[in-house]
Amino acid sequence: MEIKLGQRHSEDGGFNCVMIESVDGSTDWQDIVKARRLLVSWGMIREIGGGYSDVRAVVIRRLGMEFTSEQVNDLGDELKREAQAHRTRDSVRCDCGHTVSRSHVMSASLGTSCPDCYDRMSN
């Protein structure tokens, strides 16, 4: 099957996000889930809920391109390198202990936080 990265906006329009879609209408969603997990593990996208994910610049440049799930795997090394470069260039270590890009740092009552820890850090 083929996988397409499609551009979307969050419902409030506040952030760009990506939908990983099957191009050929395949009902084998395992490939999509696998591709999504890869992109998440590379730090390229972030689960938001409702299928939306945050998109980093490296992924935005690839929006509209279509990949087979195999090609998504092949992109791994390249994406990891770009993610690493992105992290070292523009990363902040939050009080929650995680390192995220500067634009993702949130201010919680217990200190700075990555988006995933915001609820915990707001107690």
By CB under 5 A, name the binding residues for Zn ion: 96, 98, 114, 117
Q: Least CB distance from residue 71 to Zn ion, whole Å? A: 31
Minimum CB separation from Zn ion for residue 86, in Å? 17
Of residues 8 and 98, the one with the C-beta less far from Zn ion: 98
In the complex, the smallest distance separating the C-beta of residue 95 from Zn ion, rounded to whole angstroms, is 9
Phi, psi angles (nearest 5°) of residue 120:
-65, -40
Nearer to Zn ion, 72 or 114 (CB): 114
Minimum separation from the CB atom of position 39 to Zn ion (A): 19
Closer to Zn ion by Cβ: residue 20 or 108: 108
The C-alpha atoms of residue 72 and residue 3 are separated, in whole angstroms, by: 8
| 3 state SS for the chain | CEEEEEEEECCCCCCEEEEEEECCCCCCHHHHHHHHHHHHHCCCEEEEECCEEEECHHHHCCCCCEEEHHHHHHCHHHHHHHHHHHHHHCEEECCCCCEEEHHHCEEECCEEECHHHHHHHCC
Considering beta carbons, is residue 18 or 117 the nearer one to Zn ion?
A: 117
